[in-house]
Amino acid sequence: MTDITEQIRTHRLLPVIALEEAALAVPLADALIQAGLPCAEITLRTPSALDAIRALKDRSELLLGAGTVHSAEQAKDAVAAGAQFIISPGFNLRTVTWCLENRVPIYPGISSPTDLESAMEAGLETVKFFPAESLGGVAMLKALVAPYHEMNFIPTGGITTLNLADYMAIPNVIACGGSWMVSKDLLNDGNFEMIRQRTTEALELLKNLP
């Protein structure tokens, strides 16, 4: 789990992707890699998600995860398809337990101190803060970090280039998740050049941060 976490920390940005067609997976991965961001979270929000993960599982240069995982069964299916890590919108103990028992990195969503206590009890060191902006954004995350300074966070939800720097300025934030670079409109239109451009712009912004 440490190796995957460090890779996410290195990338600092995690594209959150909902693919309506598995055929879009390869050109999307190409666009992200060309932009300099070889990682992706394919969410299980569409019927094509597992097929998309399968289409990318042999891309050794790509850090590939599955998101919107609601159960241990979904986690098992995603890993069998080729996912290297699991992200869930909330804290589901059964899902977390399956992942830990099978040495699969998992970053469950948290939204409160109670969730964080559960994550700590399970032995986790990194969690997803979701939905970040709806929960109070940077101010709320800073309030959580104060008593839980040993926990690392991947805030996701409502993050764009306009507030990315504010989140990354929090020492406990190892990366931010976002879909603005890989929006459904761009994917459905096959506009991979704009996806590459938006990703490049986001990475340029990160380069100028401490």
| 3-state SS string for the chain | CHHHHHHHHHHCEEEEECCCCHHHHHHHHHHHHHHCCCEEEEECCCCCHHHHHHHHCCCCCCEEEEECCCCHHHHHHHHHHCCCEEEECCCCHHHHHHHHHCCCCEEEEECCHHHHHHHHHCCCCEEEECCCCCCCHHHHHHHHHCCCCCCEEEEECCCCCCCHHHHHCCCCECCEEECHHHCHHHHHHCCHHHHHHHHHHHHHHHHCCC
Tell me, yes or no, if 41 is annotated catalytic: yes
Q: Which of 20, 21, 128, 193 is catalytic?
A: 128
Q: Which of 20, 41, 57, 73 is catalytic?
A: 41
CA 75 to chain CA mean position, Å? 15
Tell me, yes or no, if 117 is annotated catalytic: no
Catalytic residue positions?
A: 41, 128
